[in-house]
Structure 1
Amino acid sequence: MTDVALILVTGAAGGLGRNTANALADDGHDVVVHVRNPARLTREDDTARWKGVVLGDLAQRDDIHGVARQAAEFGRFDAVIHNAGVLHSSDETTVNTVAPYLLTALMDKPAKLIYLSSSMHRAGSTDLGPLTAGTASYSDTKLWVTTLALAFASRWEGTSSHAVDPGWVPTRMGGAGASDDLTAGHLTQAWLATHDDVTPSTGGYWYHQRTQTPHPASQDEEFQARLIHALEKHTGVPLD
């Protein structure tokens, strides 16, 4: 993609989300950032380089709908990077899985969908009981969002979908002892959002611009369908 792209990045108040948004903006793209708490946007250049900001707590169902409505005011996005995530929180299920599902269902489909996964998704469970109970582990939620990314890979004509493992990077979530490179943590999703010449063109599970093999369940069409059905029932919002 050589033209200026309109890109939404969720969870961009800090860490990987902010780094992704800034890198894209610095490359000349029109970037809309989502943040939960606008008080975290304190630097003078925080908003100057971005096209816009949408606000909302992705742990709250009403706020997720609100984020979708605010985003719609910018028109159809070329790419949406579902970066927002939490760890060691009772909101893991909603933020890490339900919010990406709802935003995808509620928004006009972009040309490119990118979902942040984790290597920890390989320890996730295919038992969907904890999804509706809100008791899922972080690994569960990352398996589920990875499954959504791969399920969406060929669902809508003109829309590609990928999952990205950014690595264990030293952000507020990852901690100071994280061993992966912070810069490498955002390069893959920024690259996927702005380039058409990637292989595979859709349905990849990426780590540092190379594909890896994800948990087998994420590529299982039966599990994909079961997860989507569970999310449709849980949220009351159909996917299509």
Structure 2
Amino acid sequence: MALILVTGASTGLGHNTASALADDGHDVVVHIRNQARLKEADDIAQWKGVVIGDLTELDETRDVARQASRFGRFDAVIHNAGTMQSSEAAAVNTVAPYVLTALMDKPARLIYLSSSMHRSGSTDLRRLTAGAASYSDSKLWVTTLALAFASRWNGTSSHAVDPGWVPTRMGGAGAPDDLTAGHQTQVRLATHPDVTPVTGGYWYHQQVQTPHPAAQDEDFQAHLIDVLESHTGVPLD
């Protein structure tokens, strides 16, 4: 049995991921954006716990890290929370995963949600600090973080996952990918004893693929971390 945190778990892929993990007998802590989302939930009893905070706000993201840390060291953290709104994309899709990773005890496994759209993202990090990032930009950057963390800490693996374009509230009812396949890779990476590669994979439907070259570029990885440290005031160990 593993202790697992899933961010953005009130609906969609995050909720499906958390539910599948709980059904498998794991202790699942879910993150949701606000109390209104909590009131909408009808399955609170299946969770080990709930943490609440708006990941568009740096102070609230810090508080989410504090709330989560009360449960102890997680076996896995799945950074699922995401948005396609340009005004919030960098904060939710890149900055929040960075801050949570930097502030929480390092889990055995880190999983970050990417997207096939990361391949059209920009490496111009002035867009991050200027609040001008697109969804694609933010997904390139979080994929870069996932691969940067892959060899950073002993005892911690890190992967990025493209869940596909699935029919959730964010993906839309007409999305062509399979909804169940959208969370199966995250569940496997969080819990399966035999994952190959052990760390540093970019995954789509349980298969490893090649990401944007910048995501594997060590110089760009280091530059992104430097920018995020300066932008947030949160250093990375």
User: TM-score w.r.t. structure 2 length?
Assistant: 0.98
Residues 78-89 of structure 1 correspond to what in structure 2 (within 5 A)? Answer: 78-89=75-86
Distance in 2 (alpha carbons) for counterparts of 1:42 and 1:176: 24
> What's the C-alpha RMSD, in Å, of the aligned pairs?
1.0
Aligned to 2:216: 219
Q: 2:104 aligns with which of 104, 107, 121?
A: 107
Residues 60-209 of structure 1 correspond to what in structure 2 (within 5 A)? Answer: 60-209=57-206
The question of 1:8 aligning with 2:17 is answered no
**Structure 2 residue identity aligned to 1:46:** D
| CA deviation string 1:73-125 (max 9, x = no partner) | 00000000000000024111100000000000000000000000000000001
**Structure 1 residue identity aligned to 2:150:** A
What secondary structure, in the 3-state scheme, does the structure 1 residue paired with 2:73 have? coil
Distance in 2 (alpha carbons) for counterparts of 1:11 and 1:18: 8
- Specify whether residues 18 and 129 from structure 1 end up closer, same or farther in structure 2 by C-alpha distance, changes over 3 A only: same
User: TM-score w.r.t. structure 1 length?
Assistant: 0.97
8 Å CA contact retained: 2:33, 2:55: yes
Worse-matched range after superposition: 203-212 or 45-54 = 45-54
What is the Cα deviation at residue 195 of structure 1? 1.1
Distance in 2 (alpha carbons) for counterparts of 1:106 and 1:88: 25
Q: How many residues align structurally?
A: 237
**Structure 2 residue identity aligned to 1:138:** Y
What is the Cα deviation at residue 18 of structure 1? 0.3
The question of 1:233 aligning with 2:230 is answered yes
Distance in 2 (alpha carbons) for counterparts of 1:235 and 1:41: 28
**Structure 2 residue identity aligned to 1:229:** D
Distance in 1 (alpha carbons) for counterparts of 2:41 and 2:172: 26
What secondary structure, in the 3-state scheme, does the structure 2 residue paired with 1:224 have? helix
8 Å CA contact retained: 2:10, 2:41: no
**Structure 2 residue identity aligned to 1:128:** L
* Identity across the alignment (%): 78
Identify unmatched segments of 5+ residues in structure 1: none
Distance in 2 (alpha carbons) for counterparts of 1:136 and 1:173: 18
Distance in 2 (alpha carbons) for counterparts of 1:199 and 1:153: 13
Distance in 2 (alpha carbons) for counterparts of 1:81 and 1:224: 20
Structure 1 runs (4+) deviating above 3 angstroms are: 41-45
What secondary structure, in the 3-state scheme, does the structure 2 residue paired with 1:90 have? helix
Aligned to 1:20: 17
Worse-matched range after superposition: 6-15 or 31-40 = 31-40
**Structure 2 residue identity aligned to 1:38:** Q
What is the Cα deviation at residue 46 of structure 1? 1.6
Identify unmatched segments of 5+ residues in structure 2: none
